Amino acid sequence: MTRNDFISEMNHQLKLVRTEYGFTQDVMAKTLGISKKTLVEIEKGRGTLGWTGAVALCTIFGASQVLAGALGGEATDMILALAFEDAKPDYPKTMGGKVWWTHVEEYRGYKIQQNIISGHYRALNQEDERVYSSFDLETVKAHLEQLNPA
């Protein structure tokens, strides 16, 4: 998934999230910090939330079941994978991937997991702390090789 794919998916989910929360277009627009006209255009498929708006939607409505179903759980991991493709952030501890993750392999002392919906990968250390996320498995392995050379 690319940033553009993510934005497109959030554009498609916007009306469903609004309906899930029982918001009018006016309330949803105000909540996201956009005009009602912009919201209407997005819902009709003629506008876009853009990166910032898509991230805002996922952040503000982080408890949304609609978004969880579309993204395979909480959006934070996917947003981090997209936002930090070329950076090395310090990630918070995870719950170990009990719901939305499948075990891919153990690699150099780390667990590599893949999200069952979005398909992105993450590497966890022995304490289940995320050390890296990416949509490319080989990129994850290359990062782990840098962290733990053979």
- Asked whether residue 26 is assigned to any structural domain, the reply reads yes
52 with 10, same domain: the answer is yes
* Counted domains in the chain: 2
Query: For residues 54 and 76, which has the higher predicted lDDT (pLDDT)?
Result: 54
- Asked whether residue 8 is assigned to any structural domain, the reply reads yes
Please tell me the distance from the alpha carbon of residue 116 to that of residue 13, in angstroms, as a whole number.
Answer: 18
Please tell me the distance from the alpha carbon of residue 76 to that of residue 148, in angstroms, as a whole number.
Answer: 26
Query: pTM here?
Result: 0.64
- Per the structure, the complete domain to which residue 36 belongs is given by 3-71
- Provide the pLDDT confidence category of residue 134 given band limits of 50, 70 and 90: confident
CA 142 to chain CA centroid, Å, is 22
Q: Tell me how crowded residue 48 is: count the other CB atoms within 10 A of its CB.
A: 17
Looking at the predicted structure, is the pLDDT value of residue 37 above 90? yes
- Asked whether residue 96 is assigned to any structural domain, the reply reads no
Across the range 77-102, mean pLDDT stands at 76
Q: Where are the beta strands (DSSP E) in the chain?
A: 101-107, 110-115, 121-124, 130-134
